Structure 1
Amino acid sequence: MASDLPSSVDVLVVGGGPAGLSAATWLGRYQRSTVVVDAGQQRNLPAESAHGLLGRDPTTPDGLLAEARAGLEQYPQVMLHHGTTTALRRDEGGRFHATVDGAEISAERVVLATGVRDRVPEIAGFADHYGIDVHHCPACDGYTARNQLVIVLGSGEHVPAYAAELLDWADSVRIVTGAVEPAFDEEQRAVLADHGAEVVDGVPEALIGDPGALTGVQLADGELVEGDKVFFSYAHHPTNDLARQLGCELDHEGRIAVDGFQLTSVDGVYAAGDITAGLQLVPIAIGQGTAAGVACATSLRGRPAAGAAPAPAPPTRWFTVR
């Protein structure tokens, strides 16, 4: 409940995915009072498995989050709140004020780990197959498509390169453009043909086969495009509304610009995970969250901790990060 929230903390972390929970873990280890606000919209929740995490490959997205949340229980300074942050501003003194489920909370520092939202195909059967034999990330799930027939849904200018990436694993790739008229120019089609990737101009209507036993994609004209796996790429929308409210610098795709310590262009605001530029993988999000949490905590060195925490160490000029 919002009424349980403290009115003041050292750090507000917005986003309870791998990046946000990693930041909160390290803020807890530095004994900084922290509230994590989690809206429960993690991008990979539909997936059966999360891959490539050292020591736990594979694991499940739910299992990974459950372990991380359980780990936070050892840090009494960290609170996990299931809710939504709708407004965030910085006052003239440099302190941040957030609206969380209608309640107001202030913080010395902010970590944004709000991720991105994917535009998904509007075809019959999608919800049943998503995360099983329909995926959005080649790096994450391409290995599961090795030696199989892969169908790619999408027609943006980035799609030929996206489809070609899947040839690292797939036996063959066929692109269904979602358009009746030809998509891609002749040069793009020639490059795809050189790599053995076929382009099918048609509107996907339904996924055929049971989840885990996909046989293909049926088009609106009745044609069946055979395939074992489907990958899609239409659009990815960074969840950057709070970053915009604060005036953080964004790149041309709307992702938050950060430095090597995950610090944004706004002093006191850090960002980690898919909301920043670069590879969008769970292990990288965890690492960025760690960097953000440590840098955020050390930037507060010498300042009294909010809430019940031991007195902080004195400031160390050579080690303090903004």
Structure 2
Amino acid sequence: MTLDRPSVFDALVVGGGPAGLSAATWLGRYRSSTLVVDAGRQRNLSADHSHGLLGRDPTTPQELLTDAHAGLEQYPEVMLRHGSVTAVHQSDEGLFRATVDGAAVFAKRMVLATGMRDQLPELAGFHAHYGTDVFHCPACDGYNAREQTVIVLGSGDQLPAYAAELLDWAVAVRMITGTDGESVDDEQRAVLGGQGIEVVDGVAEALVGPPGSLRGVRLAGGRLVEGDQVFFSHGHHPLNVLGHQLGCRLDHEGRIAVDDFQLTSVDGVYAAGDITAGFQLIPVAMGEGTTAGVACATSLRGDSGTSAASRPE
């Protein structure tokens, strides 16, 4: 980017995934001086392809980011920097001071698009298969499991519903219990059995077969549970440290609460993407980022872009 760094940016966007880059694009279109700080750890980078994006289905996560970066080049007001924001606070006058890799950056507005981190299973061969035939998002990748046998790993009360969702595509679903020391109770077994989901007791130990040609999951003790793809649900965690520092209201799952214009409970702070409630899908993140970017830009000229009645309290 060619913009000389201003003493105070109009907006600081934290996170360079689909939500953050969409926000930055629209801030650029409103000619707002914008700094995007991206640590480069988007949760879907391991996936072979991203799906469901109008006009480019499929694409790879890296292609999507590369094209978005190229698009930002037409907006000299926008600067993109690889790095991390480790601390932020708001002055009494409303100005934000952020620490970016040890240096102070000042901005009139902030857009938080820091996303989620998924809890990954401890499974031999996991990283080689992740994104090819091992996934965490049924909505994102379930279509590619159509007419195949799917193995589900995970724990918690939500797991039966998670496994049942995969029946929209898979010809058979098998759920392995005890992957982290927890088991499925009798009530859950009855629900799963009624849906035709096979429950296999044991601890998943390793993936068997090369990436793209998965044969199944080997249990501790040697048994092979056959399957073509694996989906897992061990939990995910909002990256909400900066929102917490700023005093943004969080929901019961730790995600940042926003109004219809992606404005948080803190004046001047917007949030978009997986860090907020709702579907965790790239097209949704792009839409939320667009809303945040436009609302943020218009607020700089005195239009709040929100109503008091809709604000999270």
TM-score normalised by structure 1 residue count: 0.92
Question: Is contact 1:6–1:105 with CA below 8 Å preserved after alignment?
Answer: no
Once residues 81 and 260 of structure 2 are traced to their aligned partners in structure 1, the CA distance between those partners, rounded to angstroms, is 28
Counterpart-to-counterpart distance in 1, 2:86 and 2:178: 35
1:305 is matched with: none
Aligned position for 1:306: none
Please provide the CA RMSD for this pair: 1.4
SS in 2 for 1:213: coil
- Give % identity: 70
Structure 2 equivalent of residue 68 of structure 1: 68
Write the letter of the residue equivalent to 1:148.
Q
**Equivalent position SS for 1:274:** helix
**CA, structure 1 residues 176+102, in 2 after alignment: closer, same or farther (shift >3 Å)?**
same
Alpha-carbon spacing, 1:250–1:181, altered in 2? closer, same or farther (3 Å): closer
Matched, 1:321 2:301: no
Amino acid in structure 2 at the alignment position of 1:289: G
Give the 3-state SS of the residue equivalent to 2:65 in structure 1.
Answer: helix
Residue 24 of structure 1, CA deviation: 0.0
1:41 and 2:41 correspond = yes
Aligned equivalent of 1:311: none
Aligned to 2:270: 270
Aligned to 1:14: 14
Take 1:180 and 1:97, find their aligned partners in 2: how far apart are those partners?
41
The structure-2 alpha-carbon separation of the partners of 1:27 and 1:205, relative to structure 1 and needing over 3 Å to count, comes to same
Which residues of 2 match residues 1-322 of structure 1 at below 5 A? 6-179=6-179, 183-301=183-301, 315=302, 320-321=304-305
Aligned residues of 1:179 and 1:201 also touching (Cα < 8 A): no
Q: CA deviation at 1:7?
A: 4.0
Q: How far is 1:157 from its partner? A: 1.1
- Greater shift after overlay, 198-207 or 182-191? 182-191
Amino acid at match of 2:29: R
Q: 1:197 to 1:36 in 2, by over 3 A?
A: same
Shift of 1:8: 1.9
Q: Secondary structure at the match of 1:296?
A: helix
Equivalenced residues, count: 303
CA contact (8 A) 1:7 1:104 kept: no
Q: Deviations over 1:120-159 (max 9, x none)?
A: 1111111100000000000000000001000011021111
The change in CA–CA distance for 1:233 and 1:5 in structure 2 (over 3 A counts) is farther
The 1-side partners of 2:157 and 2:128 are apart by: 28
- Structure 1's unaligned 5+ residue stretches are 302-314
1:175-226 alpha-carbon deviations (Å, 9 max, x no partner) = 1123597722222111110111111121111100000000000011111000
